[in-house]
Amino acid sequence: MEVQIRTVDDITVVEPSGEIDSNSAPELQEQMTPLLQPGAKLLMDMSRVEFMSSAGLRIMLLIYRQMADTGKIVLVGLTPGIQDSMSATGFLKFFTLADTLDEGVKVLNG
């Protein structure tokens, strides 16, 4: 897994790629922890994530909840396969989703 982080205006865009599982999830958590600042706006572009395991989903939820407490976070571009897994396991409804980056930005600025 790799993580790219860039800033567009006041929004931080995090773009992980590859597989998020028990092996890689701690690294994602480590890279994202500094971003969890009060008032931060975080857009996670998930379109290059090929697989999320059970542990991966848990770390995502952890990050999401920490972020939602202090700022705003939205997920964009989940692949249909991952979306199916998240739906079947109940994880999907914990997250705010958007279909496209533009929509995600709108949600964060809304």
Partner 1 sequence: MDRIDIYPTHTYEGYKLRPGQVFPFGATIVPGGVNFSVFSSHGTACTLVLFKKGEPQPMVEIPFFDEFRIGNVYAMTVFDLDYENIEYGFRVEGPYDPQAGHRFDPSKILMDPYAKLIGGRDGWGTPPDWNNVYPHRARPLLSDFDWENDKPLEIPPEDLIIYEMHVRSFTRDESAGVRPSVAGTFAGIIEKIPYLKALGVNAVEFLPVYEFDEFENSRINEETGELLVQYWGYSTVGFFSPKAGYAATGKDGMQADEFKNLVKELHANGIEVILDVVFNHTAEGNENGPYISFRGLDNRTYYMLTPEGYYFNFSGTGNTLNCNNPIVRGMVLDALRYWAAEYHIDGFRFDLAAILGRDQNGAPLPNPPLLEQLAFDPILAKCKLIAEAWDAGGLYQVGSFPSYGRWGEWNGKYRDAVRQFVKGDPGLLDEMAQRLQGSPDLYWSRGPMASINFITAHDGFTLNDLVSYNDKHNWANGEGNNDGANDNNSWNCGWEGPTDDPWINDLRRRQMKNFTTLLMVSQGIPMFLMGDEVARTQDGNNNTYCHDNKLNWFDWTQTETNADMLRFFQNIIAFRHAHPVLRGNTFMQHRDYVGSGYPDMSWHGTEPWDPDWTGQALAFMLCGKHAKGGAVQDDYIYVAINVYWDALWFHPPQPPQGMNWYVAVNTAMPSPQDIAEPGTEPILSDQSAVLLGDRSIMILVGR
Give the amino acid at 61.
Answer: L
Q: Enumerate residues 6+ apart whose C-beta is below 8 A from 72.
A: 40, 41, 42, 107, 108
Provide the binding-site residues for partner 1, judged by CB under 8 A.
21-23, 51, 53-55, 57-58, 61, 84-85, 87-91, 94
- Cα separations in angstroms, 68 against 2, 65, 73, 80, 92: 23, 5, 6, 24, 15
CB of 43 or CB of 91, closer to partner 1: 91
Q: Is 53 exposed, middle or buried (0-12, 13-18, 19+ CB in 10 A)?
A: middle
Please, what is the minimum distance in Å from the beta carbon of residue 80 to partner 1? 9
Please, what is the minimum distance in Å from the beta carbon of residue 21 to partner 1? 5
CB of 31 or CB of 53, closer to partner 1: 53
CB of 23 or CB of 37, closer to partner 1: 23
Please, what is the minimum distance in Å from the beta carbon of residue 11 to partner 1? 27
CB of 38 or CB of 88, closer to partner 1: 88
